[in-house]
Amino acid sequence: MRFSVELVPKEPFWRLRVYAITAERLGYSAVWLSEHFFNRSSVVTSTYLALRTRTISIGLGVLNPYAFNPLTMAQFAASLAELAPGRIMLSIGAGDPVTLSAMGYEQREPLRRVEEAVRTVRTLLAGDRPSVSARLDFRPQGPVPVYVAAQGMKMLELAGRIGDGVLVNSANLPFLEESLKVVRRSASSSGGKRVDVEVEVLTSVHEERAKAVKTVKPYVAVVLLGLPGSWRERLGVREELLADLREAVSRGEWLRVHELMPDDLALSLSLAGSGVDVARALSELPLEMMDGLVFGGPLGPYPRRAMLELRRSLSELFGKGPRG
Amino acid sequence: MGQKDLYSAARRRPDFTELVEDLLDVVLTTYSHHLIDPAEGESLADLYERGALGEREGFELLCDLVRRTEPQKFLEVLRRHGLEA
């Protein structure tokens, strides 16, 4: 079981470097850099951190095939792999509809687009040509596993079938168990291929639970808006609340999101609370079905302390550090 | 108290390591990070990487950045650790 952290490039580079060094020292397996057009570029941030760290793996994205051409994704990944051989991972997903809409894209045929992107990228990284003129004139140093980020059942099924790995985005226990079953079933029915299953869970740690919950709310809102409608119904989310959250998120009105988001809803989609709270919640996750857990942003009001606290919790739970 | 004297006084405290961590967390979370030049931020990260924030150069840079971005918090952190600026 591996443990990683997600860093959100809304911070200045030097801060992200401090966090990445902290994660590396504490024995986390990887830092994943999330991609949102309104933050710093995950590609540039990955490049910076590839040069400023030594051992920790760096996960690029999630990149989506609407804003990024698959040839460009392969180019990014192969270039990065030259800077940090064997430490680069790429994740591809369908993006979230609110963000895509703000960029002027419509999320059409997400399954087909993601599958096409993954196959194209993998072909290019292997040194082959997906078409006559599409190619990379250089090879990545070391393997670059391609992960598929997935939430909905069809995307999870696709991810298990075509990904080297799957990034499952959910902290809600019933959803997570269902999701993992779909991925595992899909992978085993695809010739029993090995697929690395990482679960990303929004995390916020602070000794005062209220502060931890408050910090995670904007992140939960973004995840909530990207959830399949049937899941939102099961969570009992009212349409009016969704509409208000959608408007607030699209305008970047995060204080409004804080006001709108009920605590129990935030808690149902995140690990938020004190280190003890989070450790308790972690112990209830179906860890035996997972290969790794990514503590997703924000980590907490004090991310560096949160990483330390999480490490302590992991040691208590497993008797060892994040690399376990 | 001058910054040089502040370092000497801080260094003598048994909770010096916690003081440095508290100051670091202010710099890492302040919304006024636009007041920190990227080159200064890189210097801070260099010192952090070398484990040198508890040395004079690191501590003085840390104090300078916290004082600039969060003057009130700077005083509060010092007070919490039995020091004054």
What band does A20 get if pLDDT is binned at 50, 70 and 90? Answer: very high
**Alpha-carbon gap, residue A22 to A42, rounded angstroms:** 19
- Tell me if chain B has a CB within 8 Å of the CB of A13: yes
pLDDT at position B2: 58
Task: Give the pLDDT confidence of A209-238 residue by residue, as tens digits.
Answer: 999 999 999 999 988 988 888 888 889 999
Question: Could you report the per-residue pLDDT of A56-87, keeping only the tens digit for each?
Answer: 999 998 999 999 999 999 999 999 999 999 99
Question: Distances in Å between the alpha carbon of A141 and those of A24, A70, A75, A136, A213?
Answer: 21, 19, 12, 13, 41
Could you read off the pLDDT of B32-47 as tens digits, one per residue?
Answer: 999 999 999 999 999 9
Task: Please report how many Cα atoms fall inside a 13 Å half-sphere around the Cα of residue A232, on the Cβ side.
Answer: 18
**Residue A220 class from Cβ within 10 Å (0-12 exposed, 13-18 middle, 19+ buried)?**
buried
Instruction: Give me the interface pTM, i.e. the ipTM.
Output: 0.95
Tokens of A47: 């490049």
- Assess A105–B contact: CB distance below 8 Å, yes or no: no
Q: Is the pLDDT of residue B3 over 90?
A: no
What are B's interface residues with A at a Cβ cutoff of 8 A?
Answer: 21, 24-25, 28-29, 33, 36, 38, 41-42, 44-45, 48-49
Q: Is the pLDDT of residue B17 over 80?
A: yes
Nearest-CA neighbor of A258 among A286, A222, A302, A216? A216
* Parallel/antiparallel/unpaired status of strands A2-7 and A165-169: unpaired
Contact B25 A305 (CB under 8 A): yes
pLDDT the model gives residue B19: 98
Please provide the average confidence, as pLDDT, over all residues in chain A: 93
Of the partner residues A13, A52, A304, the one whose CB lies closest to the CB of residue B28? A304
Of A12, A17, A304, the CB nearest to B33: A12
Local confidence band at A276 (pLDDT 50, 70, 90 cut-offs): confident
> What is the DSSP secondary-structure string of A172-196?
-HHHHHHHHHHHHHHHHTTTT---E
* Sole residue written with tokens 């370092």: B7
pLDDT class of A294 with cuts at 50, 70, 90? very high
Q: How many CB pairs under 8 A join A and B?
A: 41
What confidence score (pLDDT) does residue A157 get?
A: 96
- Do A108 and A152 meet the contact criterion of CB atoms below 8 Å apart? no
A5, β-bridge pairs: A31, A295
| pLDDT one-digit tens code per residue, A103-154 | 999 999 999 999 999 999 999 999 999 888 899 999 889 899 999 999 889 9
Q: What residues of chain A lie within 8 A of the CB of B25, using their CB?
A: 302, 304-305
**Which residue is it, tokens 């003598």?**
B12
Rg of chain B on CA atoms, in Å: 12
Rounded CA-CA distance A256/A247 in Å is 10
pLDDT tens by residue, B24-79: 999 999 999 999 999 999 999 999 999 999 999 999 999 999 999 999 999 999 99
CB of A265 closer than 8 Å to CB of A180 = no
Would you call A305 an interface residue with chain B, using a CB distance cutoff of 8 Å? yes
3-state secondary structure of A261: coil
Question: What is the arithmetic mean of pLDDT over A158-165?
Answer: 96
Q: How far apart are CA A320 and CA A283, in angstroms?
A: 14
Q: Is the pTM of this model over 0.90?
A: yes
Q: Report the share of chain A in percent with pLDDT over 70.
A: 98
From A11's Cα to the closest Cα of chain B, the distance in A is: 9
Which segments of chain A are extended strands (E)?
2-7, 30-33, 57-63, 88-92, 146-150, 165-169, 196-205, 271-273, 292-299
